[in-house]
Amino acid sequence: MSLIKQLWIAIAVVTLIALGGSLVVSTLSARHYLEQQLQVKNLDNATSLALSLSQMPKDPVTVELQIAAQFDAGHYRLIRLTSPTGDVVAEREYAGSLDGAPEWFTRLVPIKAHAGVAQVQDGWHQFGTLTLESHKRYAYAALWQGTLQLLGWFVLGGALTGLIGTLIIKHITRPLGRVVEQAEAIGGRRFVTTPEPSTMEFRSVVRAMNTLSERVRTILAEESRRLEQLRRQTQHDEMTGLLNRSQFLNQLDSALARDDAHAAGTLLIARVGDLTGLNQRIGRAQTDRLLHDLAGQFSDFAAGRANWQVGRINGSDFALLAPGEENAPELTAALAKQLHDGLDAHLQDVTVALPVAATAYAAGEARSQVLARADGALAAAEQAGDRGVRVDGGGKAAAPYPDLQSWRAALLSALERDGVRLGAYPVVANDGRLLHEEAPIRLLLDGVWQPAGYFMPRVARLGLMPRFDMAVVHAALHAISGDGRERGINVSAESLCDANFRGELFALLQADAAAAKRLWIEVPEYGALRHLAEFRTLCVALQPLGCRVGIEHVGAHFGELGDLHELGLDYVKIDSAVIRGIDANAGNQAFLRGLCMIVHSLGLMAIAEGVESESETRALPDLGIDGMTGPAVRTPSAA
Amino acid sequence: MTCVLLGLSFAAQDLDRMQRLARERFGAEAGESVDAWRRMLGDAADLDDQEKLQRVNTFFNRRIAFEDDIVIWQQKDYWATPLETLGRKAGDCEDFSIAKYMSLRALGIPAEKLRLIYVRASIGAPGSGISQAHMVLGYYPSPADEPLVLDNLIGDIRTASRRPDLFPIFSFNAGGLWVGGSTSSSADPTTRLSRWRDVLDRMRTEGLP
C-alpha cells in the first residue's frame, strides 16, 4: 500500500475516533442532563400535587378530577394514587406510542428517570401514595435531534479534516513523488540526477541517488574519453586525424550494406598530384602543412553531417563518403571549388595539382565495384588537368521513375495497395537463442518486393519517413501477434523528431501491451545524437510499456552520447564498420572491448551488426558481444 | 430482630465515623453527646416499637434545647442533621423531627410507618386563634391507624386525636426518593435544591444510612 494511502487512513481513523468519541460523550452527557431534569420535575410535580390533594375534600370525584386536570394539562406518562393498603384509587396513563425518535435509538440510549413519589394526607390519616412519571417522548425527541445535529456537524467536520489532511499529505509527500521517480529511473538504468528536496529524510535519499548517478556519469565520461582516444589511435591517420584506409573502407562496406534512408550516396576522392615532387619543391614541413589543411577542409565539409566520413586512403588520396547524398555532381562541384580556392589562397606561387572525382553508389553494390568506378573517374580527372573534376553517374540501372513526383505517386500507391512486408534477419545471442528478428521494410514496386535501400532514400527525400515507419510498426505488431516471435524495427531520425509519430507509436503500443513487450525499437546513432532531446522523450515514454529500445550503427560517435546513462536503453547494435575483420584487427578489438565494457556497466546488451565470417563469429563473444546479426548468422535451427 | 442487630453492627463503623466528626467539628462534649445517643440506640435495639418511640422521644426532648435556626445557625431556616443537632445540643422543630426520624430508622422502624408532618399548632389558650407553623414526627402502627405524635413541645407521646392543638397540613418521608438503591446522589447537583434531599444527603455523608 502506498505511503499516501496509509497516511490518509491514519488521518481518517484519528478523525473518526476523535469525532465519534465526542459524539458519544456529548450524547451521553445530554442524556444525563435530561434524566436529571425529568427526575426533578417528577419529584416536584408529585409533591405539589400531593400537597394540593391533601388540602382538598377526599370524595372520589374531586380526587379523580384533580389528578385528571394535572394529567391532561401537563406532560405525563403516568399519575397514580394508591391507598395505604395498595389499591389503586385513581390512575391516568398515556397509552400512545412513542414518536420523535426511532425505536432503536431509544433502546440504544435509554433515558431512565425515577418516578416522583409523595404522600397524600387526609387529616391525620394516610390517604395514599402518589406516583408520578413525566412523559419521556420530548426528552427522546430532543436527544435524537441533538444527536442528529451533532452528527451532521461531525460529518462536516470530518469531511473538512479529510480535505485539509489530504492537502497536507500532498504537500508533505510532493518531494516523495520525485524521489520515487528517480529511484524508478535508476532501476530502469536511467542514472538521472534531481534537485534535492527540502524535507530532510528525502534529501538524504536523493543525495545518495544523485551521488550514484553522478559517479556513473563520471565513470562513463572517463571511459568514453579513453575509448575515443583508443579509437583515434587505431582508426585514424596519425598525421591528418582523418580515418585511415582500412577503417574508411570498413565504413564504405557498412554504408553499402545499409538498408535505410541513407542507403544510397556519394563517394568522392581527391588526389594531391605528384606528392614526391611537391615535397622536393616546397619542403617536407610545408607539404605536411598543406596536407593537414586539406584534411581540415574535408573535415569541416563533413562536420555538419553526422554520418559522413572522411578518410586518408593513401598518402596522397583523401576521400569523402556521403551516405544519403545522391546528387554527386553538386556535392563534387561544391567541395572541389572549396578545396581549389583554399589551395590557391594557401600557396600563391606554387600550383598544386588536385584532381577531384566522385561516383554515386546505390544500396547493395559491391565495394570493389564502387571503388573501381571512383578510380576510373579519378584517372579521367587527372587527364583533364591539375584541377580536373569528374563525376561518374553510378553503375545502377536507369532510375525506374524519372522524377520525385512519380516516385511519390508510386510509393504511396504501393503503400496503400499492398502495404508493407517485413524482412526477417535473425539476431542471435551467444548461446544460440534467437533474440529477435530484424524486420526491415519491403515494398511492392513494379511487381517486385523491393528492399528498403531501393526506395527509402526517396521516401526520406519526400518527407514520408514517419508514414512508412508507422506502417512498419503496424506490420511488426501484427506479425508479433501472429507468431509471438520478437521483432526489431528501425525508427528513423525524421520520425523521431515527429511528435505526431511519437504520440501515435505510444498509443499503438499501449493498446497492444502483449505485442509491445516483444518489440525492439532502434534508432540510428546519428539520429539519436542529433535529436537527443526527442530520443530521450521517446525512451522515457516507451520504457513503462515494456518494449526494448536501442541504438543501432553505434561506432565512431559513441563517445558523444554523453547522456547515455540517463536514457534507460536496453541494447546497442555496433556498426559493421567496427565489426568487419575484427578477428584480425587488434586496434578495433581493443576499441570494441572497451565499448562492450561501458555498455555492460550500464546494464545494456551489446549486439554486433554485419557479421560476415565464421572467424568474426568466433572472435566476437570474447570481446564482450552478447549477440550478433549479419550474413554469417543463421536462425537457430531448433526454433 | 437479628436483622436489626446485624444492621446495627454493620452501622457501627459508620457511627464511629460520625462520633469522630462530631468531636472534630463541635468539640469533646459533642462527642459525648453522640456517644450517649449511640448508647441509647444500643439499649433500645431490643425493645418493641412503642418503647423505642418512648426512648428516642425522651432522649432528644431532654438533651436538645429548643432554639430558632437564626440563633443556632444564623440562617432563617436551616435543616440540621442529627450530628449537627447533637453537636449544638439545640435545634428547632424540624431538627427534632429529623433526629427522631433518623434514630427510629436506625432502630429498624420502616419508613412507611413514619411521616414528617407539617402542622399548624395553636399556641396560647385554646381558642385564642394564635397559631404557628410547626413540624412533628408521626408514627403509624398500621396504614389505616391514627398516628402517634412525637412532638418537642410536650414530653409524652400521644395519639393524634389527643392533640387538638395540632392541625396536619402535609406529610412526607424518605420513601421514593432513592428508588433502585442508588448509592449516593451527592453527584447530582439537583439534590441541593431540595431541603429534604439536601439533609438526607448530608446525613448519608456523615455516616447515617
Return the domain boundaries, chain A: 3-160, 239-392, 404-628
Q: Quick one: which of A4, A15, A13 has its CA closest to A158?
A: A15
**What pLDDT is stored for residue B7 in this prediction?**
46
Say which CATH superfamily domain A404-628 falls into: EAL domain (3.20.20.450)
- pLDDT classification of A519: cutoffs 50, 70, 90: very high
Percent of chain A with pLDDT over 90: 28
Using the Cα atoms of residue B61, residue B62, residue B64 and residue B68 in order, give the sign of their dihedral.
positive
Distance between CA atoms of residues B91 and B89, nearest Å:
7
Task: Over range A163-182, report the average pLDDT.
Answer: 85
- The CATH number linked to B130 is 3.10.620.30
Is the pLDDT at A212 greater than 50, yes or no?
Answer: yes
Question: Nearest C-alpha of chain B: how many angstroms from A17?
Answer: 28
Please judge whether A115 and B194 are an interchain contact, meaning their C-beta atoms are less than 8 angstroms apart: no
**What pLDDT is stored for residue A80 in this prediction?**
94
C-alpha distances out from residue B51 to A594, B40, B46, B58, B137, Å? 125, 12, 10, 10, 16
Please judge whether B177 and A43 are an interchain contact, meaning their C-beta atoms are less than 8 angstroms apart: yes
Distance between CA atoms of residues A552 and A535, nearest Å:
13
What's A239-392's CATH class? Answer: alpha beta
Out of A40, A121, A125, the one facing B170 most closely (by C-beta) is: A121
pLDDT digits (tens, 9 = 90+) for B119-131: 999 887 766 778 8
Element (H, E) at A339: helix A328-346
CA atoms within 13 A on the CB side of A625: 32
Q: Is 0.90 exceeded by the ipTM? A: no
- CB of A45 within 8 Å of a chain B CB? The answer is no
**What pLDDT is stored for residue B188 in this prediction?**
59
Out of A46, A55, A85, the one facing B143 most closely (by C-beta) is: A85
B85, B97 Cβ separation under 8 angstroms: no
Percent of chain A with pLDDT over 70: 98
Mutation target among A36, A41, A124 for the B interface, most CBs of B within 10 A? A124
Distance between CA atoms of residues A243 and A222, nearest Å:
23
Residues 130-169 in A contacting B (C-alpha not used; CB under 8 Å): 131
Please judge whether B170 and A39 are an interchain contact, meaning their C-beta atoms are less than 8 angstroms apart: no
CA atoms within 13 A on the CB side of A395: 16
Which of A266-270, A423-427, B15-19 is predicted least confidently?
A: B15-19
pLDDT digits (tens, 9 = 90+) for B164-184: 889 998 888 887 665 433 444
Task: Over range A95-120, report the average pLDDT.
Answer: 85
- pLDDT classification of A572: cutoffs 50, 70, 90: very high
C-alpha distances out from residue A530 to A254, A472, A492, A533, Å? 20, 23, 12, 9
Residue A46: its chain B contacts at CB < 8 A?
176
Out of A83, A121, A129, the one facing B168 most closely (by C-beta) is: A121
Residue A566 Ramachandran class (φ > 0 left, ψ -120 to 50 alpha, else beta): alpha
Residue B170: its chain A contacts at CB < 8 A?
50-51, 54, 121
Mean predicted lDDT score pLDDT of chain A: 87
C-alpha distances out from residue B17 to B34, B39, B85, B86, Å? 11, 15, 16, 15
pLDDT digits (tens, 9 = 90+) for B147-158: 999 999 888 899
The b-or-e profile of B135-168 (16+ CB within 10 A means b, else e) is bbbbbbeeeebebbbbbbbeeebeebeebebbeb
Task: Over range A615-626, report the average pLDDT.
Answer: 92
- Longest Cα–Cα distance in chain A: 162
pLDDT digits (tens, 9 = 90+) for A68-103: 999 988 889 999 999 988 899 999 998 877 677 888
DSSP H helical ranges for B27-158: 28-44, 49-63, 69-72, 82-88, 93-106
Range of the domain at B185: 2-206
Task: Over range A149-156, report the average pLDDT.
Answer: 90
Distance between CA atoms of residues B77 and B68, nearest Å:
9
Residue B188: its chain A contacts at CB < 8 A?
36
Task: Over range A557-576, report the average pLDDT.
Answer: 83
Please judge whether A36 and B168 are an interchain contact, meaning their C-beta atoms are less than 8 angstroms apart: no
Residue A84: its chain B contacts at CB < 8 A?
143-144
Task: Over range B110-114, report the average pLDDT.
Answer: 89
Looking only at the bridges linking them, the beta strands covering B90-91 and B65-66 are: parallel
Residues contacting A573, CB < 8 A, separation 6+:
A522, A550, A551, A552, A553, A554, A607, A608, A609, A629
User: Domain tally for chain B?
Assistant: 1
Q: Quick one: which of A491, A117, A332 has its CA closest to B197?
A: A117
pLDDT digits (tens, 9 = 90+) for A15-60: 889 888 998 999 999 999 999 889 889 989 999 999 999 988 888 8
Higher pLDDT, A418 or B105: B105
Q: Can you read off the three cell numbers belonging to residue B112?
A: 412507611
Task: Over range A115-144, report the average pLDDT.
Answer: 89
What kind of fold does domain A3-160 have according to CATH?
Translation Initiation Factor IF3 (3.30.110)
Element (H, E) at A518: none
Is the pLDDT at B132 greater than 50, yes or no?
Answer: yes
Is the pLDDT at A555 greater than 80, yes or no?
Answer: yes
A621, A627 Cβ separation under 8 angstroms: no
- Please report how the helices B28-44 and B2-26 are oriented relative to each other, as an axis angle in degrees rounded to 10: 170
Residue B138: its chain A contacts at CB < 8 A?
124
Q: Which residue in A has a C-alpha nearest to residue B166's C-alpha? A: A124
φ/ψ of B53, rounded to 5, equals: -55, -45
**What pLDDT is stored for residue B64 in this prediction?**
92
Output the CA angle B135-B137-B143, nearest 5 degrees.
125
- Edge-to-edge strand list for the sheet holding A420-422: A420-422, A441-445, A448-451
A594, A588 Cβ separation under 8 angstroms: no
Task: Over range A544-563, report the average pLDDT.
Answer: 83
Range among A96-100, A277-281, B77-81 with highest mean pLDDT value: B77-81
Is the pLDDT at A329 greater than 90, yes or no?
Answer: no
Is the pLDDT at B19 greater than 50, yes or no?
Answer: yes
